[in-house]
Homo-oligomer: A and B are copies of this chain.
């Protein structure tokens, strides 16, 4: 059976994801689609709207064959480590292709871009330094440097301000390093842009707009998700379970920020150049998340970088722990859900996988897995107090969803 890898967050699984999965299967002629999915916390440093278990189930009902959790430390990362972690796992599970969505949509232009970037690396680096000194964040400085070098030299480069183009580049770089035999493919994203906040008149909308509609409890969103996602989400909400946002978890981060000494805060991964004092100061003055972010916001740090650092603090991930794990690739592949085909693929190919498949938490002894445990506990703290113990315990008790 031929497997293709997808790198996803499914927050939640909607028609755009369904379309991408179908197209990936056709384009790469795949028997099996393996999705590596972020768990409780996402790349942008936010809690996922729904738990990983519900999201993984929706993916299987929407046509994916296997959902593997991207370990939290690799999930809550900027594109480079996010891509390394995801590609590392997909490679270990024997995928022949990885197919990502992008605004650009032509895979050869990604490889061309990477070649040009290498060629002009020195000029780019010099410009980055200049833009950093002007007080820009690193991603912004890099954008500006790239733009300036490509204009000066009349290069045909990708628009890396488009978030999925940027991620796509990171995937291809990771593939080149980890296993160049994996074939990269891309599918042009339909209609919706990642950051679009409003629902439009079609059947595809951005996850951002769909989340907003779900949170506002408007039924308008039903047309943008497969019926299986719709049932899953409404059942979840009807059980009085929370749609998780930073607003629910911020009080915990706030209490940590204001009761932890600065020298200890500065051991947390992501706390650099006095960010710990800035965060503490804002936490002292803000009891609500939007106010906090408003106080913290600065040209120097991107919104995502700040949110990710809050996740590291929430889970008490220190620099030593993070750097230790990030110097390697993920050490396990945690199964969240599978179709019957997916299950067969695992059974038949297990011996050739270069990572152990964990279908229960107790099978893993890795310290990287302890971070996922803390993530599950932290996530459970956003539930009603009567639900917290059971929700935390799901990390150990939940059996992967297997479609018959």
Contacts and interface: CB of A to CB of B under 8 A. Distances in A.
A369 interface: no
A259 B314 contact: yes
A92 to B, nearest CB: 26
Interface of A: 251-252, 255-256, 258-261, 264, 284-288, 314-316, 318, 321, 370, 374, 377-378, 381, 385-386, 388-389, 392
A389 B285 CA distance: 6
Contacts of A287: 385-386, 388-389
Secondary structure call for the A interface: helix
- One complex includes copies of this chain to the number of 2
A315 B252 contact: no
B284 A392 contact: yes
A158 to B, nearest CB: 39
A371 to B, nearest CB: 9
Closest 10 CB pairs of A and B: A258-B377, A260-B316, A287-B385, A252-B255, A259-B374, A259-B378, A255-B381, A287-B388, A259-B377, A259-B315
A264 B392 contact: no
A247 to B, nearest CB: 11
Contacts of A285: 389
Nearest to A291: B389
A72 B339 CA distance: 57
A176 to B, nearest CB: 34
Nearest to A381: B255
Given A285-B389, A385-B251, A389-B285, A316 B259 contact: yes
A392 B321 contact: no
A303 B31 CA distance: 61
A261 B385 contact: no
B258 A256 contact: no
A315 B256 CA distance: 9
